[in-house]
Structure 1
Amino acid sequence: MQLPYFMISLDDYMLPCLNKKLFGIECPGCGAQRAISFLLKGDFIDAFTMYPAIFTIIPLLGFLLVDSFFTIKYSNKIIITLMVSSVILILGNYILKFL
């Protein structure tokens, strides 16, 4: 199956991490763009390896979008659970990068 051109050349348009360029230290968001690129290519394992929180952030954004149009029972608990799990994964991944 042939991928569309914009998905193949997406890596050429990624923004560099300003924190890494200025201070030489990765920020907690480093790897998110590459993880999205891997997801669009269908490489889920590499996306998780690059930025594990991508698998909680995308459902969180999707749920927030749906919740803005429809009333969902227990939406606050779902949002808080997704947010807390995202923060734990982001901080855990950030700490593991330094070890």
Structure 2
Amino acid sequence: MKAEEYMIPCMSKKFLGIECLGCGTQRALYLVSEGKFAEAFQMYPAIYTLLLFFIVLGLHFIDKSRSYKKIIIPLAILNAVIMVIAYFYKQIN
């Protein structure tokens, strides 16, 4: 069985035929889990900032002795910028 069989389909792509900003995230996560880091980046360039964002966000909820607020917002903005740039780059090419 292929991993793609278990992935959630993109509703935007399915119903409108247009990829969303998150298209490729699941496949990129799968590639990271297989150790295919370059391929994961090619699939979804924001994968590593997204993973870092979720790690820091998780630490924010788990580790109450430290404040992660100063890191969370810039990481979210950086991730959003990378997602938008990658989306438009994918549309042009």
The residue type equivalent to 1:55 in the other structure is: Y
1:3 aligned partner: none
2:70 aligned partner: 77
Distance in 1, Cα, partners of 2:11 & 2:59: 33
Number of residue equivalences:
91
Residue among 20, 25, 28 paired with 1:32: 25
Deviation at 1:89, TM superposition (A): 0.7
Q: Aligned to 2:18, what secondary structure does the other structure show? A: coil
- Unaligned runs of 5+ residues in structure 2 are none
TM-score w.r.t. length of structure 1 = 0.82
Deviation at 1:26, TM superposition (A): 0.6
Residue pair 1:56, 1:86 contacting (<8 A) in 2 also = yes
> Could you list the per-position Cα deviations for residues 52-93 of structure 1 after superposition, in whole angstroms to 9, with x for gaps in the alignment?
1110111111111112222325x2221112111100111011
TM-score w.r.t. length of structure 2 = 0.87
Determine what percentage of the aligned residue pairs are the same residue. 37
2:85 aligned partner: 92
Residue among 37, 47, 54 paired with 2:47: 54
Residue pair 1:11, 1:37 contacting (<8 A) in 2 also = no
